[in-house]
Amino acid sequence: MQKMKSNNNSVKIDGIDKKILRYLMEDARRPILEIARNIGISGAAIHQRLRKLENAKLLAGSKFIINPKVLGYTTMAYIGIFLDKAMANPRAVKELERIPEVLECHYTTGNWSILIKVLCRDNEHLMMVLNKKIQQIEGVSRTETFISLDQQIDRQISI
């Protein structure tokens, strides 16, 4: 049985939990009864185990994943943001939340105060987001941008 930490509490998952999680991580829409047949337990037992894992905060929900390229978004970039004062962080994050192109925002160690991931239609759109939105935020002294040419690995933690 493997222990996984969750909010300072240990969550115990066994081999059956791992099998259930692997099936659902592969396809969250896979029917519970199909998983139950493959594992050899009842659908009710799977629901009970999933509830236990949700209550332990190991599972953070499920979602559909949209292919942004189909919608015309082809430029992914990571932007390191330098703030003039650390105190500007909460205000800057609040402003970044209002920019729909910002997908992720991380408070980091190192040179930058904040690292964000943005998705834009093209380089021109990225330039507009940088110049007209991000660099206009009060407290932002400068930015450093890295355009992703290709995402070569995309995975979750191994179970």
- pLDDT of the residue at 48: 96
Output the pLDDT for position 9.
Answer: 62
Q: Which two tokens stand for residue 151?
A: 């995402």
Distance CA 107, CA 95 (A): 14
CB 23 within 8 A of CB 49: no
* pLDDT for position 2: 56
H helix intervals, the chain: 15-26, 32-39, 43-55, 89-97, 123-128
Which pLDDT belongs to residue 60?
86
pLDDT of residue 1: 56
C-alpha 36/C-alpha 15 separation (Å) is 14
**Which positions of the chain have pLDDT values less than 50?**
5-7
Q: Looking at the chain, how many residues does it have?
A: 159
Q: What is the mean pLDDT of the chain?
A: 92
pLDDT of 7 reads 47
Note the Cα 138 to chain centre separation in Å.
26
Q: Where are the domains of the chain?
A: 2-55, 68-148
**Could you say which of 3.20.20.70, 3.30.70.920, 3.40.640.10, 2.40.37.10 is the CATH number of the domain covering 68-148?**
3.30.70.920
Name 76's bridge partners: 119, 148
Share of the chain above pLDDT 70, in %: 94
Q: Do the Cβ atoms of 88 and 139 come closer than 8 Å?
A: yes
State the fold for domain 2-55: Arc Repressor Mutant, subunit A (1.10.10)
**Burial classification of residue 46, based on how many CB atoms lie within 10 Å of its CB (0-12 exposed, 13-18 middle, 19 or more buried):** buried
